[in-house]
Chain A
């Protein structure tokens, strides 16, 4: 839609942002949230060492930043690149996974 994205992923970092993967609705349920977290952790661990994962969950009446996205912090930029190559375009809950690198400083400040 008027956006040229070809070859413009920006510099690689050690934090991968996964989009189009979860809906705020799915994250409301405790059991479903735990399952989603487990699925993502398990798959990401195949491509590198996962240091931390953040999945912002909805809060009634609050516009939670980053809700609907998943952030995975890897041990190294290389691990993160490997995971991006492996995961982008895959299907998760029947949705196409979209990825982008994320600024680690923003990640640690939880500026999602």
Chain B
């Protein structure tokens, strides 16, 4: 059973040595003399930029392999028959929420922090699953 689990398991590493994420202005090598706060602020900034990049580019990280996706909830349709809770919609909403939480955390460390221009506080009205 242990062997089977090992075989089935996929590595958490994605891509090869040369497939890297470049975020403009955000190097991924840090000096070792950062304070804990500087380090946390930098990582938060990086995470905010990364989520923003996904939302802007539409490259939401949805796996093309259905086996790797979570099960879909019951569909919800609008009055004109359009599906509201598509996987893309749900993923975008999750990313918006994630970014919102990151921005809130960042603002507790750095009250001067300016969120990305396309950042909106998530609306209160939502489609429930």
> Residue B28 contacts which of A36, A86, A89, A101 (CB distance < 8 angstroms)?
A89
* Docked pose: A20 CA to B43 CA in angstroms: 7
Q: Nearest chain B CB to A20's CB is how many angstroms away?
A: 5
Given A1-B45, A3-B38: A10 and B32 interface contact (C-beta under 8 Å): yes
**What total count of A-B pairs have CB within 8 Å?**
90
Give chain B interface residues in 15-54, CB to chain A under 8 Å: 15, 17, 19-23, 27-34, 38-39, 41-43, 45-47, 50
Interface SS of A by simple majority:
mixed
From known contacts A89-B20, A91-B21, infer whether A98 and B28 are also in contact, taking CB-CB under 8 Å.
Answer: yes
Interface size class of chain B, counting residues whose CB lies under 8 Å from the partner chain: 20 to 34
- Over the window 40-53 of chain A, the binary record of Cβ atoms lying under 8 Å from chain B Cβ atoms (1 yes, 0 no) is 00110000000000
Taking CB atoms, residues of chain A closer than 8 Å to B41 are 1, 3
Q: Which residues in window 89-107 of A have CB below 8 A to B?
A: 89-103
4 closest pairs, A vs B, by CB?
A89-B20, A91-B14, A100-B30, A89-B28
List, sorted by A's number, 18 A–B pairs whose CB atoms are closer than 8 Å. A1-B42, A5-B29, A36-B12, A39-B11, A42-B11, A43-B13, A86-B17, A89-B20, A89-B21, A91-B14, A96-B23, A98-B43, A98-B46, A99-B30, A100-B30, A100-B31, A101-B32, A102-B32
B residues engaging A (CB < 8 A)? 9, 11-15, 17, 19-23, 27-34, 38-39, 41-43, 45-47, 50, 61, 110, 113
